Amino acid sequence: MSGTRIVIADDDVLLREGLASLLERSGFDVVGQAGDADELLDLVRRQEPGLVIVDIRMPPEHATEGLEAAHAIRRDHPATAILVLSAHVEVEHAMQLLAGGAGTGYLLKSRVTDVAEFVDTVERVARGATVVDPALVQELVGAQRRHDPLAVLTGRERQVLGLVAEGRSNAGVARRLWVTEGTIEKHVRSILTKLDLPETDDDHRRVLAVLTFLEQR
């Protein structure tokens, strides 16, 4: 989304400046940078950005200050999309973030090295998509739980849901699997029905399906 106003928060100055430069070259409008959570919240209040990019661990304790700031932004500025960056796969933190709804992303910092993929992720989150780092999806796919609500899904349906969990649209999943978009639409309808998420006019049922998928650690 060219022109989207963005605030970046990370205590790593080089990374922060690098992201700002990259995004500005890609047509985004970086309206502020912050080195800690308090500075981030102040910038969001003053600048009202369309998207915030925030490190999950920030000063002073380098614990969950960034995540807590993200929750505060979602509560007080619900129209602002949020993309959280993390150095490692942290399932619990990712789940807390994604439960906030649409316009939310969780991305590993290592993914930033792929410029095209990173810019695409920023654009999708800014448009309201829920985007999950593929590494997180793969970790959760490989884990097993005794009670698995996804057991009702076929292998193909699990594959489709896994791609949806990465933030892909029906058309994007269809391109990845080399099938028609209509075929994917049928799979998605079946998935929602089997997970007791019947079709309504509310697109959040896709988010609920993704959360069900991610919870199976």
CATH number at residue 12: 3.40.50.2300
Place of tokens 């949020």: 82
Total count of domains within the chain: 2
* Per-residue pLDDT, 140: 61
* Per-residue pLDDT, 82: 93
Residue 59 · residue 65 · CB < 8 Å: yes
**C-alpha–C-alpha distance, residues 53 and 181, integer Å:** 31
Instruction: State whether 51 and 107 are in the same domain.
Output: yes
Residue 31 · residue 5 · CB < 8 Å: yes
Structure tokens at 176: 């990845």
* Per-residue pLDDT, 152: 80
Q: At what angle do helices 65-76 and 37-47 cross, to 10 degrees?
A: 20
What does the DSSP 8-state code read for residue 12?
Answer: -
Domain region containing 17: 5-132
* Per-residue pLDDT, 110: 85
- Which ranges in 48-169 belong to alpha helices (H)? 65-76, 91-98, 115-126, 134-142, 155-165
The pLDDT averaged over each successive group of 10 residues in the chain (217 residues) is 86 92 94 94 95 90 86 91 85 71 84 87 91 75 58 85 85 91 90 74 66 66
**pTM score, whole prediction:** 0.66
Instruction: State whether 17 and 51 are in the same domain.
Output: yes
**C-alpha–C-alpha distance, residues 136 and 122, integer Å:** 17
Last residue of a domain, one of 104, 132, 160: 132
* Per-residue pLDDT, 26: 93
